[in-house]
Amino acid sequence: MVTLQERLDRGDVLLIDGGMGTELERRGVEMDGEAWAGAAMKTRPDVIKEIHKEFIVAGADLIIANTYATSPHVMKHAGFSNEETHDLNLLGVRLAREAVAEAADGRQVFVAGSMSSFRAGLDVHKLPNKVEARDSYRRQAQALAEGGCDLIILEMMLDPVITPIAIAAAVETGLPAWAGFSARVADGKVLGFHRYADDAFDDVLDSGLSFPLQAAGIMHTNVEFTPPALAALKAKWSGPMFAYPHSGEFRMPHWQFDTVMKPEPFCGEAMGYLAGGVQAIGGCCGIGPDHIAMLKRGLPSHMPG
């Protein structure tokens, strides 16, 4: 088997899957008020696996386990002990692995374990302090590695505090680590995605890019803000890049699908990322299997030039 590093080195374009949480919502799976899509692992593992399989059939070369919200510091607010949370992380990787075995038809599909800056109930007051964050991300990273994922992807890295703690925990496992940064643009400035502070996006990037990462990218960032965020990343990072923006918006308590960009224009955006040197492309919230299938048809299999 060719490794992920070899696929990157030889210039293969890799397709990433689309949003898992919003796909669960679209299918009517109830989201937990504290752990969002995290608790669905307990209630609807069958739907999670089904969604993974649809993304694989659509053409994804890399799928992301539904562990975005299953860090101990989040799950404790949903009533899960550290041991139960450990098992949920193992299960998240296992569901993705089973989906690959059942749907990849011999094609190579990598499984990423996800760790993110998600906070319970999206409540700023439930952000962990540094000591708790270190312990929590370490536990989650070790569980994901034990579960057998091929890499760990850091999702929604959006401030200079959590970013280095989460990335350090991923790197410690010895697995390849991909750092996904999230940005917004306000008054013409590129800022970290979250709204509880106005962190310059450059500061967020600086806090994460000094680690030995396999790839860095922009994710869970509005399609419109992704090009300026990629430009900021490119100014600081010369390694492999990825992008998987979101489309539509979150209005409590649900993702709004009526404003999601259609697959064809989304593919046009992706062509632009590719021309700018981005090698792995997929979608985040709002982006479903139809979009990934469109990327499969529309994008070349190797980097241009």
- Kindly list the residues in this chain that would bind Zn ion in the complex (CB under 5 A): 220, 246, 284-285
- Rounded to a whole number of angstroms, the minimum distance from the CB of residue 23 to Zn ion is 11
275 contacts: CB under 8 Å, gap ≥ 6 = 304
CB of 62 to Zn ion, least distance (A): 16
Is residue 2 within 8 Å of 8, Cβ to Cβ?
Answer: no
Nearer to Zn ion, 49 or 220 (CB): 220
What would the two tokens of residue 270 be? 């992706």
**Least distance from C-beta 7 to Zn ion, angstroms?**
24
| Phi, psi for residue 266 in degrees, rounded to 5 | -65, -40
DSSP codes of every residue in 159-207: STTHHHHHHHHHHHTTS-EEEEE-EEEETTEEEES-SSS--BHHHHHHH
| Helices 82-103/45-58 angle, 10° precision | 40
Cα angle 293, 1, 245 (rounded to 5 degrees) comes to 35
Closer to Zn ion by Cβ: residue 53 or 246? 246
**Which residue's CB is nearer to Zn ion, number 18 or number 128?**
18
* Cα distance between residue 274 and residue 186, in whole Å: 25
Looking at the Cβ atoms of 254 and 302, the one nearer to Zn ion is: 254
Minimum CB–partner distance for residue 11 and Zn ion (Å): 27
CB within 8 A of 49, min separation 6: which ones? 95, 98, 99
8 A C-beta contact, residue 218 and residue 190: no
Query: SS3 of 305, please?
Result: coil
| Shortest distance, position 90 Cβ to Zn ion, whole Å | 23
For Zn ion, give the closer residue by CB, 69 or 241. Answer: 69
Rank residues 13 and 285 by Cβ distance to Zn ion and give the closer one. 285
Given the complex with Zn ion, which of 214 and 247 has the nearer CB atom? 247
Residues 276/303, Cβ–Cβ less than 8 Å: no
The residues that bridge with 190 in the sheet, in sequence order, are 185
Could you tell me the smallest distance in angstroms from the CB atom of residue 246 to Zn ion? Answer: 4
Q: Give yes or no for a contact between 285 and 21, defined as CB atoms under 8 angstroms apart.
A: yes
Give least dist CB 222 to Zn ion, A: 10
